[in-house]
Amino acid sequence: MNMIRTAMLLAFMTALFMGVGYLIGGTGGMTIAFVIAAGMNLFSYWNADKMVLRMHHAREVDERTAPEFYRIVRDLARNAGLPMPRVYIIDNPQPNAFATGRNPQNAAVAATTGLLQRLSREEVAGVMAHELAHVQNRDTLTMTITATLAGAISMLGNFALFFGGERNNNNPLGFIGVLVAMIVAPLAAMMVQMAISRTREYAADRRGAEICGQPMWLASALGKIARGAHQVVNPDAERNPATAHMFIINPLSGQRMDGLFSTHPNTENRIAALTELAREAGLTGTGELAGGDPAARGPWGRRSMGGRTGPWS
């Protein structure tokens, strides 16, 4: 199903490229746009994850350079039955995280220094379990390609002002066509981000809770991240708004309020869903990785949603 959705997304964005190209340069512009779109689709499949990580200045870490964080991801991946992803840290005070990669064998997870500093170990585990759920559900390919191509569409709309509207460029609508391209292209990029259904976040929340065994770890983390995102501006995200839908919480909310065109579901609704999930599973406490009630420690304690036990090494 995800492959069909990805194919439909690529087809739509290719058509959008061609439409904007036609508005800017007529049939010649449409042909050039088609060639560019086809090349970007192919390039995005193989390289979009690297581009997104580079946009946010993510640095790869291992068990030597970030031992505790790396071990959290390793143990969660093992519990989910996933290959070990590459692990990145982003030097950014805003608490946030995302996953990327075209498949589980080529996945990467990234967390900001703000997240690692503000959240408890249990909350970090809940967040990374959510990101690994995106990897397991194969959302990451669609999310990463959308981030790359939506940004390119927005740039194409900006280029329209400088390269469109001349009488000799075969543009049938002239400057009106350029204005339409300038307005429609950024709006379409926003709509494409929305097209990546908000329900994928609820699904990742639920699966993430199953992976870590404690829904309230993630529920607590979401509240802290949402508050932090409103308080701390993320400059890299502001420069690359097409990547906003990849984060666990909208990184643009420091300046832009959540609303009808948000790329994420309402945080309070997500927390409520996780709280209900915990109640149904009989896990009413938050649990702890060290200390606390050992019967509520998720997959590393005696009782969990997944029923697994093992050390938190």
Side-chain half-sphere CA neighbours of 225 within 13 A: 33
Q: Residue 120: its pLDDT value, please? A: 96
Give the Cα-Cα-Cα angle 284, 286, 288 (nearest 5 degrees): 135
Report residue 226 as tokens: 């949402």
Q: Which of these is catalytic: 60, 68, 123, 131?
A: 131
Residue 131 a catalytic site member: yes
Q: Residue 285: its pLDDT value, please? A: 57
The Cα 251–Cα 243 span in angstroms is 9
Q: Residue 307: its pLDDT value, please? A: 40
Give exposure, 72-95, as e/b (b: 16+ Cβ within 10 Å): bbebbbebbebeebbbbbbebebb
Side-chain half-sphere CA neighbours of 131 within 13 A: 34
The strand pairing partners of 98, in sequence order, are 110, 247
- As a dihedral over the C-alpha atoms of residue 263, residue 38, residue 55, residue 8, rounded to 10 degrees, the angle is 20
Q: pLDDT band at 295, cuts 50/70/90?
A: very low
The Cα 133–Cα 104 span in angstroms is 10
The Cα 57–Cα 88 span in angstroms is 10
Q: Residue 102: its pLDDT value, please? A: 87
Whether the Cβ atoms of residue 219 and residue 274 lie closer than 8 Å to each other: yes
Report residue 283 as tokens: 């896990």
Full-model pTM: 0.78
Q: pLDDT band at 143, cuts 50/70/90?
A: confident
Whether the Cβ atoms of residue 101 and residue 49 lie closer than 8 Å to each other: yes
State yes or no: pLDDT of 302 exceeds 60.
no
Q: Which of 298, 303, 301 is nearest to 218 (CA)?
A: 298
**Section 44-52 average pLDDT:** 84
Q: Residue 312: its pLDDT value, please? A: 35
Q: Residue 2: its pLDDT value, please? A: 60
**Section 259-274 average pLDDT:** 82
Express each pLDDT in 180-199 by its tens digit. Answer: 666 776 676 666 666 666 67
Q: Residue 245: its pLDDT value, please? A: 84
Instruction: Please provide the average confidence, as pLDDT, over all residues in the chain.
Output: 79
Specify the higher pLDDT residue, 94 or 287: 94
Cβ contacts of 296-300, under 8 Å, gap ≥ 24 = 296/214, 297/213, 297/214, 298/125, 298/212, 298/213, 298/214, 298/217, 299/79, 299/211, 299/212, 299/213, 300/75, 300/213
The DSSP bridge pattern shows strands 58-61 and 97-100 to be unpaired
State yes or no: pLDDT of 309 exceeds 80.
no
The Cα 214–Cα 61 span in angstroms is 26
State yes or no: pLDDT of 235 exceeds 90.
yes
Express each pLDDT in 115-140 by its tens digit. Answer: 999 999 999 999 999 999 999 998 88
State yes or no: pLDDT of 290 exceeds 70.
no
Greatest mean pLDDT among 6-20, 199-213, 275-289 lies in 199-213
